[in-house]
Amino acid sequence: MLERTVLIGSTNGLHARPAKLFSQAAAAAGIPVTLTKTGGKTVNAASILGVISLGIGHGDEVTLAADGDTAETTLDELARLLLVDHDA
């Protein structure tokens, strides 16, 4: 299992629009990916409702985890999405 820890870049956190972009990318990866807010629960990263339920705000630390042949590339791409300020 590979992991990446990332700080959220979007000014307003992972609200509906950035959460949708992120969960769609996670679903398209073709491997299971989880998202955990530091000190919180773990959810399926491909579930927009799961992602929104974490209440992730700007600057919050989250951990992505995945396992499989494309895990490293997938986590790198998803981490980049989380670092971008989608509210700018």
pTM of the model: 0.95
pLDDT of residue 88: 77
Q: How confident is the model at residue 85 (pLDDT cuts 50, 70, 90)?
A: very high
> What per-residue string of b and e applies to 42-63 under the rule 16 or more CB within 10 Å gives b?
ebbbbebebbbebebeeebebe
Name the pLDDT band for 15 (thresholds 50, 70, 90).
very high
86 is catalytic: no
Q: Which of 11, 15, 31, 32 is catalytic?
A: 15
Tens-place pLDDT, residues 16-72? 999 999 999 999 999 999 999 999 999 999 999 999 999 999 999 999 999 999 999
How far, in Å, CA of 33 to CA of 75, rounded? 8
- Whether residue 88 is contained in a domain is answered as no
Does 56 reside within a domain?
A: yes
Question: Can you give the residue range of the structural domain that contains 63?
Answer: 2-83
Question: Does residue 13 sit within a domain?
Answer: yes
- Whether 65 is in a domain gets the answer yes
CATH (domain of 77) = 3.30.1340.10
Residue 39 lies in a domain: yes
Output the pLDDT for position 55.
96
Confidence of residue 6 (pLDDT cuts 50, 70, 90): very high
What's the domain count of the chain? 1
Structural domain contains residue 35: yes
